[in-house]
Amino acid sequence: MSHVSASFAARASDHAVRRYAERVLGLAIPAGLDDQRALSHVRARRTDCAAIRQHLAGHGGVILQAGMRSGTVVVPGERMRLRVSEGSVVTVLTPEPRTLGRALKAA
């Protein structure tokens, strides 16, 4: 969880939970599944979607605590950015694999 008070937690969409599972946790989700079916696939692999949702909501709350409703939150420790729109985390972005590889080699 972030350092933001729980009273400022954003909502986290199914799409954001799916993208976190794919892009941060590295879970393979079959192409062509809608977000709800993708989350069923994630749960079947014993991944706690509710914990992911709470984690994203806490980080997304940085935007709300700053008095805004939309924006981008950078989470360097997890090498991700969260896009918040109207109080909801709507997607998770990570560096492209090629960029990530270069950054790791430089470190």
38: left (phi over 0), alpha (psi -120 to 50) or beta: alpha
pLDDT at residue 105, as a whole number: 56
Output b/e per residue, 75-95; b: 16+ Cβ within 10 A.
beeeebbbbbeebbbbbbebe
**59, part of any domain:** yes
As given in the structure block, the two tokens for residue 72 are: 């981008």
Label residue 106 by pLDDT band (50, 70, 90). low
String of DSSP letters for 50-78: HHHHHHHHHHHHHHHHTT-SSEEEEEGGG
As given in the structure block, the two tokens for residue 47 are: 């991944």
**4, part of any domain:** no
* 98 pLDDT higher than 70: no
Q: How far apart are alpha carbons 23 and 83 in whole angstroms?
A: 14
pLDDT at residue 11, as a whole number: 95
Number of compact structural domains in the chain: 1
Note down the domain range covering 70: 9-106
**1, part of any domain:** no
**3, part of any domain:** no
**2, part of any domain:** no
pLDDT digits (tens, 9 = 90+) for 16-72: 999 999 999 999 999 999 999 999 999 999 999 999 999 999 999 999 999 999 999
pLDDT digits (tens, 9 = 90+) for 71-90: 999 999 999 999 999 999 99
pLDDT at residue 24, as a whole number: 95
